[in-house]
């Protein structure tokens, strides 16, 4: 099935040809996408076909601002990336996909909501172990909304100077005020720890308070996403600041199958994708682990001059990844 990005580009080119037959076929496609509850894609195709076309296929709003830096060390407080992956590149639980589509629909129709005095979902909390798709989900949302992805670097934000961490956070929010982005506060627990944690000094508590105040007062148009591997460490007051919470976990068997299909696109292989024992061999791996296994296996296939990816190559790559993970766990 073609991606939403390709469909949008195809409809834009066809709409410019002004063919009645093409319009009829696209109408049928829009109806089919609505039946699948892909309302965001259906609305975009309808708008492209009948008017209010965007200036170019999936054109990003170009980044043109100075990146703020930590005054103590001169380190950039954030990184701006152009997203390259969309919904076709991610495997999520049904619940997360439903929430994600709702967020995209509300964000893309924020002006309509505003006309009724309503605000779109704009603050998300992503929770779950490393490698399970939190950063990828933020990138996918940025890609679908044609926005840059801003990743806030907490190694630079957190300063040893009294009061400078809060000042760095203020610089980040000021930056977000001047544009529209998907802003990812990765490893959010670095500043979002519970304020009653006796092990932390008063400065960290003041940072948490400052962050709460900045979130409450933020009136910009960016979609704010906080991601954490340790949600239990978060201050309880922070949870109330988020419109939606998405829980990420290691993939189940059905998700493993979908993930393999996504990662093996374009790769000629002789793998039993529907075999339960084959899928079970990936149980316990994260999304990122499985991606690394596939990449290793494809590299080995190429270097060995094989035409197809076979079980022996994939098993070898999986065992090497298991060994790497065990070694990492002992460190």
Instruction: Report pLDDT digits (tens) over 256-270.
Output: 999 999 999 889 999
> What is the average per-residue pLDDT within 169-198?
80
Q: Tell me the sheet residues that pair with 76.
A: 69
Check residue 29 and give its pLDDT.
80
| Least confident interval from 4-13, 101-110, 131-140, 316-325 | 4-13
Question: How far apart (Å, rounded) are the C-alpha atoms in residues 124 and 213?
Answer: 17
Check residue 57 and give its pLDDT.
42
Which residue is listed with tokens 């990005």?
Answer: 5
pLDDT band at 119; cut points 50, 70, 90: very high
Check residue 118 and give its pLDDT.
94
For domain 78-247, which architecture applies? 3-Layer(aba) Sandwich (3.40)
Query: In this structure, what token pair is assigned to residue 49?
Result: 């076909």
| Least confident interval from 163-167, 195-199, 236-240 | 195-199
User: Packing angle between helix 20-35 and helix 39-50, nearest 10 degrees?
Assistant: 160
Checking if the pLDDT of 243 tops 90, the result is: yes
User: In this structure, is the dihedral angle defined by the CA atoms of residues 318, 319, 324 and 328, taken in order, positive or negative?
Assistant: positive
78-247 and 253-330 agree in CATH topology: no
User: What DSSP character marks residue 66?
Assistant: P
Q: Domain 253-330: state its class.
A: mainly alpha
Q: Tell me the sheet residues that pair with 234.
A: 193
Query: In this structure, what token pair is assigned to residue 170?
Result: 């203020």
Chain centroid, CA 309 distance in Å: 29
Higher pLDDT among residues 307 and 196, named by residue = 307
Give the SS3 label for residue 15. Answer: helix
* Domain regions of the chain by residue span: 4-50, 78-247, 253-330
> What is the average per-residue pLDDT within 46-58?
54
Checking if the pLDDT of 64 tops 60, the result is: no
Enter the pTM of the model: 0.76
User: What DSSP character marks residue 223?
Assistant: E
What are φ and ψ of residue 124, in 5° steps? -120, 145
Cβ-contact 71, 164 below 8 angstroms: yes
Mean of pLDDT over the chain: 83
pLDDT band at 278; cut points 50, 70, 90: very high
Check residue 16 and give its pLDDT.
62
């Amino acid at each position: 099935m073609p991606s939403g990005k390709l469909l949008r580009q195809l409809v834009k080119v066809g709409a410019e040809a002004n063919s009645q037959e093409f319009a009829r076929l696209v109408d049928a496609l829009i109806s089919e996408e609505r039946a699948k509850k892909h309302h965001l894609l259906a609305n975009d195709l309808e708008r492209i076909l009948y008017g209010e076309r965007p200036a170019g296929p999936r054109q990003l709003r170009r980044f043109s601002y100075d990146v703020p830096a930590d005054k103590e060390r001169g380190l950039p407080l954030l990184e701006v990336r152009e997203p390259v992956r969309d919904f076709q590149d991610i495997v999520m639980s049904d619940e997360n996909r439903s929430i994600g589509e709702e967020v995209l629909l509300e964000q893309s129709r924020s002006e309509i909501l505003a006309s009724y005095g309503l605000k779109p979902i704009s603050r998300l909390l992503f929770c779950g172990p490393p490698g399970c798709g939190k950063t990828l989900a933020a990138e996918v949302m940025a890609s679908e909304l044609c926005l840059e992805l801003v990743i806030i670097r907490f190694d630079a934000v957190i300063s040893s100077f009294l009061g400078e961490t809060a000042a760095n956070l203020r610089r980040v929010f000021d930056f977000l005020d001047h544009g529209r982005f998907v802003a990812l506060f990765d490893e959010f627990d670095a500043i979002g720890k519970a304020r009653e944690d006796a092990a932390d000094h008063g400065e960290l508590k003041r940072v948490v308070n400052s962050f709460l105040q900045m979130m409450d007062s933020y009136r910009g148009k960016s979609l704010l996403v906080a991601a954490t591997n340790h949600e239990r460490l978060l201050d309880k007051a922070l949870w109330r600041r988020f419109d939606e919470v998405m829980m990420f976990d290691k993939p189940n068997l059905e998700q493993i199958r979908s993930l393999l299909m996504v990662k093996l696109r374009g790769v000629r292989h002789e793998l039993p994708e529907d075999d339960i024992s084959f899928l079970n061999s990936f149980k316990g791996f994260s999304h990122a682990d499985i991606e690394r296994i596939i990449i290793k296996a494809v590299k080995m296939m190429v270097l060995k001059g094989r035409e197809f990816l076979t079980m022996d190559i994939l098993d070898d790559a999986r065992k090497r990844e298991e060994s790497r993970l065990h070694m990492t766990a002992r460190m």
